[in-house]
Chains A and B, each alone.
Chain A
Amino acid sequence: MTLLDVQDLHVEFVARGLDNQLRIARALNGVSFTVAAGEVVGLVGETGAGKSLTALAAMGLLRPPARIPRGSIRFEGQEIIGQPDRVLEKIRGRRMAMIVQSPLTSLDPLKRVGDQLVRMQRVHGTARGAAARAKAEAMLAAVRIPDPARRMQAWPHELSGGMAQRVLIAMALVNDPALIIADEPTTGLDVTVQAQVLDTLRDIVAARNLGALVITHDLGVVAHYCQRVAVMFAGQIIEDGPVQQVFARPAHPYTQALIASTPGRIAQLGWTLTGGTPPDLYNLPTGCLYRDRCPRATTACLAPPPRIAVSDSHGAACHFAGEAA
């Protein structure tokens, strides 16, 4: 069952420069993807590719100067774009929950962990009183926090980074949402802690048949915790498909360059010069946005590339996606 269905999403920012001219940054340029129950979808890309913006849009959290000129975001069949906050507030934290990068700043420093979990339920009317406390404690146990009864009384500043991230996961899950959006959930955590937190998240998602959208810049997280992956570049999804297929046979030159620049591949294949600056969002070229950096670019790339399927579930927005590299 499809939980989240994003189609042709465009997001732009309007800013006024020093010269008093209005300038429009086209941050998202036609993003389409779906997340179904029981699957973990990875949204991967580099800084400024639009990953977090996509997540914020899906949560209905975009505020001016951001605006959505085109596109649709459907969650459980209901359109999100244009909904007033009072409607969205019933969805956010209830049916659709978000886990953000900095756990310690996302917890209320003046409230005990248990009280925050209880409040989360009371706000959404899912439970109150003793039932809410019992549910809160059960959630802490579910995210594998040792001695949950004692941790209910803990203050946020007493938690380590990994523990705080687990509490945040518990907060996200306490109202039994259908969809989890995790924005760089383990960035900044130590390797050993990251692995434990991700294991916890994956096991819960599987056990409860949730849908999850994991936003990350870390290909390792995608490779081991996601079933499907969507690769973003300059506000577009340039390749999507099952993780194993995309890593084994990346079809878009950008995905190929990205994988080739992981240290492990460099050690095997030597240095391949990559990099280059992403296109100027204020002044986007027409046609393929990766054209200027692409080793395969031809005049064909002056036209916008369609998504070309390379298998029934794997496709890339490149004129040459079907051909061998």
Chain B
Amino acid sequence: MSPVLSVRNLIHRFPGGVHAVNDVSFDIAAGETLGLVGESGSGKSTIGLLVTRLLAPTGGQILFEGEDITHLGAAALRKLRARLQIVFQDPWGALNPRMTIGHLMEEPLTLHGQGDAASRAAEIRRLADRVRLPAASLARYPHELSGGQLQRVSIARAIANRPKLIVLDEPTSSLDLSVRAGILQLLDELQRESGVAMLFISHDLETVRLVSHRVAVLYLGRVAEQAPAEQLFANPAHPYTQVLLSAHLPPDPLVKLRRHEVVGEIPSPVNLPPGCFFAGGCPLVRPDCTTGPPPFEEVEAGHRAACVRITDGTNHLTPAEERP
């Protein structure tokens, strides 16, 4: 089956020469969630904006349901937005403060010509019910709702026209823990019901592990590693992934931490080195790391990492001392 979204060699430069996205490729199939993890400056949010064409890419190709949407015109793009949706991080800022919740939920239906006023009203009630939003909140304004409820409104807007792909840009990062779980559960249910594909962008490894089928780890706008979620967390191949996972603090005091430290400086995205971007911080750096871009080697089936050490199997950091 052909993927819902195919991203090929995506490149984006911001004014001022910032290399935000550097040759990124991935696919997402129907019913699948791809987790996109990375720290600040990894380009993960930029990729979300490029994929939904809220930004125009500098280079590369974006295929959505087989159609090349990289250079789609404004009118065609508007039509496409019914099937290609995005949910943003900040639920308080993502909804027009002067519109009621009901109005906000009706907008995507109106824009894409869904039925008459009566059928839209019925559809809004169904959507509100689906995202577990009390019907009374439809008459309210965004500032009267909690962050979790607002994020449910954004999700309702996103699913209103039964999209094929939803980009979720840190959808739970600004929510409290108990609220977060409810949103993640809702997304999980929606995917099971409709088979929508999801691109889940987050810096939170635990959340990504929970919701993703596959995970891509970004470092300075390049995919360092890509693998099925369980394989990535069980057997991280790229030294950066290993460092990232080792820095994570699981909410369980009994889990012992084994920290791998980064040694050097992070290169500037304005002036990236020719070789592996992580070479400057990598404890396993060797001369051929800095000569050219590392090959995207297969580690096991469906699991690839961009490191020169994969082929000879010397890519694993020695476990650091155990920390109390």
Q: Which residues of A contact B54 (CB under 8 A)?
A: none
Identify which of residues 188-217 in chain A touch chain B, using a CB-to-CB cut-off of 8 Å: 190-192, 194-196, 199, 217
User: Which stretch in A5-13, A66-74, A119-127, A242-250 binds the other chain?
Assistant: A242-250
- The yes or no answer to B125 lying at the interface (CB within 8 A) is no
- The yes or no answer to A56 lying at the interface (CB within 8 A) is no
Q: Which residues of A contact B247 (CB under 8 A)?
A: 191-192, 194-195
Q: Among A192, A244, A262, A267, point to the contact of B177 (Cβ < 8 A).
A: A262
Most chain B CB within 10 A, of A218, A262, A276, is at A262
Q: A224-B257, A275-B181 are in contact. Are A262 and B251 (CB under 8 A)?
A: yes
Contact A191 B253 (CB under 8 A): no
Q: Which residues of A contact B261 (CB under 8 A)?
A: 196
- The yes or no answer to B67 lying at the interface (CB within 8 A) is no
Contact B184 A219 (CB under 8 A): no
Q: Among B188, B205, B252, point to the contact of A271 (Cβ < 8 A).
A: B188
Which residue of the partner chain B has the closest CB to A261? B181
- The yes or no answer to A273 lying at the interface (CB within 8 A) is yes
Measured CA separation A185–B261 after assembly (Å)? 20
Which residue of the partner chain B has the closest CB to A248? B254
Measured CA separation A274–B209 after assembly (Å)? 20
Distance in Å: Cβ of A44 to nearest Cβ of chain B = 10
Contact A191 B252 (CB under 8 A): no
Measured CA separation A248–B255 after assembly (Å)? 12
Which residue of the partner chain A has the closest CB to B260? A192
Measured CA separation A247–B254 after assembly (Å)? 9
Most chain A CB within 10 A, of B176, B180, B323, is at B176
Contact B181 A259 (CB under 8 A): no
Contact B249 A224 (CB under 8 A): yes
Q: Which residues of A contact B176 (CB under 8 A)?
A: 46-47, 217
Q: Which residues of B contact A260 (CB under 8 A)?
A: 181
Contact A261 B180 (CB under 8 A): yes
Contact B177 A217 (CB under 8 A): yes
Measured CA separation A219–B259 after assembly (Å)? 18
Most chain B CB within 10 A, of A194, A258, A266, A273, is at A266
Which residue of the partner chain A has the closest CB to B204? A263
Contact A220 B251 (CB under 8 A): yes
Measured CA separation A222–B253 after assembly (Å)? 8
Q: Place the interface of chain B in its size category.
A: 35 or more
Q: Which residues of A contact B40 (CB under 8 A)?
A: 190
Which residue of the partner chain B has the closest CB to A223? B253
Q: Which residues of B contact A277 (CB under 8 A)?
A: 146
- The yes or no answer to A221 lying at the interface (CB within 8 A) is yes
Instruction: Render A59-89 as a binary contact track against B, CB cut-off 8 A, 1 for contact.
Output: 0000000000000000000000000000000
Q: Among B179, B204, B244, B259, point to the contact of A275 (Cβ < 8 A).
A: B179
Contact B148 A275 (CB under 8 A): yes
Q: Place the interface of chain A in its size category.
A: 35 or more
Identify which of residues 239-272 in chain B touch chain A, using a CB-to-CB cut-off of 8 Å: 243-244, 247-255, 257, 259, 261-262
Q: Which residues of A contact B185 (CB under 8 A)?
A: 271, 273
- The yes or no answer to A129 lying at the interface (CB within 8 A) is no
Q: Among B148, B249, B255, point to the contact of A218 (Cβ < 8 A).
A: B249
Contact B178 A263 (CB under 8 A): no
Identify which of residues 153-196 in chain A touch chain B, using a CB-to-CB cut-off of 8 Å: 190-192, 194-196
- The yes or no answer to A17 lying at the interface (CB within 8 A) is no
Which residue of the partner chain B has the closest CB to A229? B253
- The yes or no answer to B8 lying at the interface (CB within 8 A) is no
Contact A263 B184 (CB under 8 A): yes
Instruction: Render A225-264 as a binary contact track against B, CB cut-off 8 A, 1 for contact.
Output: 0000000000000000001100110000000011111111
Q: Which residues of A contact B207 (CB under 8 A)?
A: 263
Q: A47-B176, A192-B262, A195-B259 are in contact. Are A274 and B248 (CB under 8 A)?
A: no
- The yes or no answer to B115 lying at the interface (CB within 8 A) is no
Q: Which residues of A contact B68 (CB under 8 A)?
A: none
Measured CA separation A272–B146 after assembly (Å)? 20
- The yes or no answer to B182 lying at the interface (CB within 8 A) is yes
Q: Among B181, B249, B250, B253, point to the contact of A244 (Cβ < 8 A).
A: B253
Q: Among A46, A264, A266, point to the contact of B250 (Cβ < 8 A).
A: A264
- The yes or no answer to B129 lying at the interface (CB within 8 A) is no
Contact A247 B252 (CB under 8 A): yes
- The yes or no answer to B39 lying at the interface (CB within 8 A) is yes
Distance in Å: Cβ of B213 to nearest Cβ of chain A = 13
Identify which of residues 261-316 in chain A touch chain B, using a CB-to-CB cut-off of 8 Å: 261-264, 266-267, 271-277
Q: A191-B248, A219-B251 are in contact. Are A266 and B178 (CB under 8 A)?
A: no
Measured CA separation A12–B203 after assembly (Å)? 36
Q: List 17 interface pairs A-B (beta carbons < 8 Å), by A numbering.
A: A46-B177, A46-B178, A47-B147, A199-B323, A220-B250, A223-B251, A224-B257, A261-B178, A261-B180, A263-B181, A263-B210, A264-B252, A267-B209, A273-B185, A274-B178, A274-B181, A275-B178
